[in-house]
A and B are shown apart, each in its own frame.
Chain A
Amino acid sequence: MKRRNFTKQLGGAAVLTASGLTLPAFKKKSQRQITILHTNDTHSHIEPFEATHFRYANQGGVAKRATLIEQVRKENPYTLLLDAGDIFQGTPYFNYFGGELEFRLMSMLKYDVATIGNHDFDNSIDGLYKQLPHAKFDFVSANYDFSNTVLDTHVKPYKTLIKNDIKIGIFGLGIELEGLVGKKMYKETKYLDPIEMTQEMTQKLKQTEKCDLIICLSHLGYHYKDNANKISDLNLAKATKDIDLIIGGHTHTFLPKPTLVKNLDNKNVLVNQVGAYGVNLGRVDFYFDEMNNNEANGTSILI
């Protein structure tokens, strides 16, 4: 269960664009593939944008997303589907049905884990709690302390899953709510320091849970140009260790490919975010090989 190091990168920092194709000739029998599909900031966009939309004409839509997800699952059954928050708010579907439809559809699409965004408090923490029975997937948040709220015990700091014999740990991080969301909406939710909580989470997921892969679902935002020191995914990746992938949200940043950031141990962390409104579906594939395979140690990152 020794963790790998990301030393080998094809072409140095520059990276090839290869779509997630697997070359059968190189595929070893022992190789295990884990596929991560992800969305963020879907904001109640149930249907595709209208054909007249200035920017996203005919794009998005849950029914189309479902088709793409199903295709990937057929290709690799060891697929996880994750969301980085702000599921609520953005179309009248939310105003009239309170998020019920969003959660029921995500359950039909078999989402595995999601984290909580600031807009998920838009009908107050009680409004979120009320919709939880419709969500057949888990919510994780390591830095919102819900112990004095209705969400106590309903949101776990992290979750572990085993797929294809690979143990995956997923923890969540939320943005500071004060100033962004009315206090009467988030009530007694306490915001804890994301970096401190990440240290705690990675320690637990790596040492105690012995995860092979650690993913952070973050609603902190990708990066803040005007406030570069504000906690963001890029800053979090730099200031911590043992995270393999940060799936971000909040800033509605569309990254054509994940950003590589060197962490505290000088290892690569992938930071990804795919815009908003369900216009894109993100995908990252992790390939594991058995050790002692006469392989050079290291990970090729082909993005």
Chain B
Amino acid sequence: MAEETILSVVDLHTSFTTDKGEVKAVNGISFNLTAGKILGIVGESGSGKSVSAYSIMQILEKNGSIKSGQILYKGEDITKWPESKMRDFRGKRCSIIFQDPMTSLNPVFTIGYQLEEAIKLHTDRRGKEARDRAVEMLELVGVNEPEKRIKQYPFEFSGGMRQRVMIAMALACEPDILIADEPTTALDVTIQAQILELMKDLQAKLGMAIIMVTHDLGVIAQMADEIIVMYGGRVCERGTAEDIFYRPAHEYTKGLLRSIPSVDTMGQRLEPISGTPINLLNMPKGCAFCPRCDAAMKICLEQQPPETRTVDGHLAACWQAIRTEMDAGMVRVEQKA
């Protein structure tokens, strides 16, 4: 089966106007989302991972806007779409679930009402049909006794159950794309495991593409087919889960992997990344990571590294990685379009 690209983000720039100046949250990221695959975007706070996701949905805060770049959904640039068309896009073609299932649901309406609202808005189903669909969706996401639960209010649901409801709501109109913004961060590990398992199951059943935004490397290792590592609003490195975890090329990715305790490094000292997180108001001229990088060279201060193929074929934007390639005899610096 040919791999169909369902969504392409091309050189996206998103910034926010604040009292202290322009905050450039996303600085030219590009990626393709393949139908039926899970793309993981991982990064620390302020890396621009959530803002990238919100830019796709165009649900940025009032002071934020897409400055340049294209977001192509099945070949059409949705950044040019009017709001009325975008409304149709959200929910029907592309849905999002948020970190906090406590605040994403309206406390004064029943679960059923809120689910049906989404169904009525985007499909022709009305009345009993809409209700049946709501029950069917709750059943699909593993809520027991859906006929009874549908009449209950959000406070009667636990955190994990609420996140299930959010997933049911997001998938009720069978979107092509599901964006999950830190979907399990607020949940306990055993509940997290349930939700991740559910998301994988549903993906296999319904075949939508998922963009999984998270800071948790463990979650991403488990879920993603392809991973993008972000820092300071730029892409550091991208590749398959194996590329990123076993053959990291970017100094930031390497540092990140060294900082997490794992079974292999128990009893040893962790090797943290030095310094403090990036200040988006005061971005360095060269590589965004270079003020914290131990391997920084002169060129890192002055020029932004281009994304190049590493020795094993995935992409990284790091001058050190480029040097390694040159040492390995790969003088050709191929830039990604």
A and B associate in one complex: no
Task: Please give the residue numbers on chain A whose beta carbons come within 8 Å of chain B beta carbons, in ascending order.
Answer: none
